[in-house]
Structure 1
Amino acid sequence: MDISRHLGVLRRYALVLTRNSERAEDLVQEAALRALEGAHTWQDGNDLRKWLLAIVHNTHASRCRRKHTESAAEATIAAQTVRAQAPNQTDRVSLGETVAALMTLPEEQREVLMLVAVEGMSYRSAAECLGIPLGTLMSRLSRGRAALRAAADQDAPAPHLRLVR
């Protein structure tokens, strides 16, 4: 399968679709890559040019859909950002301190705090996600929360370890 002799046709068609020479060239390159990756689907005897033009067309349509979806998502995020009220300065400082304290915790505690406290996962789901027993998750969560409370309240005694036999 030699697609090189059809590149001129593909470039002209891509230029008509994109109305921009750089985007057209990118489109042809992506379509050529897809054609090479899907070469096993082309059957000898079929019109190679027609098959390649269909790939260019479908690649362009996919790009347009993706661009539309991304634009809609950006608009939604922008609308939500406008409606959101910025926290007051004390809340920002407190949040920054909490995040800084969270980042100083051991990874085991950070991950369980993130899954349970931030992402709202159930204890059981978080334990399954991490591949640890439920009791281990609850212990790590308890230690992590205690460390964050201690960091938030400098006057509070730091959590201490006790020996369990």
Structure 2
Amino acid sequence: MARNRDEISLAIIAAAPHARRFAYSLCRNAAEADDLVQSAIERVLSRGVPDGTDMKRWMFKICRNLWIDGLRAKSVRTDAAPEIGLAAPEPVSAETEAADRIMLQRTEAAIDALPPAYREVLALVAVGGSSYKEASETLEVPVGTVMSRLARARAMLADATGYAA
């Protein structure tokens, strides 16, 4: 049974924050992530959703495809990661804050250095909260490939940041 416009709108509203986090993990830029999610929403509204499809997974897939299309369209990919402020509920020593900022920068650089296939899996599973099966379906690869890429991504991050996997 086809979804009506109200059902689609409610499903989009529920899925949008998840798609935004996923898009940010791909783009590493808040403005680009917002544009990607907006394009995905426009696509869903103009083309609809296949019956029985989970909106969150569908929007992840659309965001990923639009992001890949954007990468292909650019001759040089620009890496722009906005500074992420560290908000602490209680005062933190300057030494701790400096160490945290260094670790954050090291982690961001390590994530940016991951091959796109590993970064996508990491984003879907670790950031988006997808199961291995959901990530497998979104990326159209076997579950074993998702598990392998995720393990390699985690190991690469552990090596780059100095933390044991």
TM-score w.r.t. length of structure 1:
0.40
Larger radius of gyration: 1
Please state which structure has a larger fraction of its residues in helix. Answer: 1
TM-score w.r.t. length of structure 2:
0.40
Determine which structure has greater relative contact order: mean sequence separation of CA pairs < 8 Å that are 6+ residues apart, divided by chain length: 2
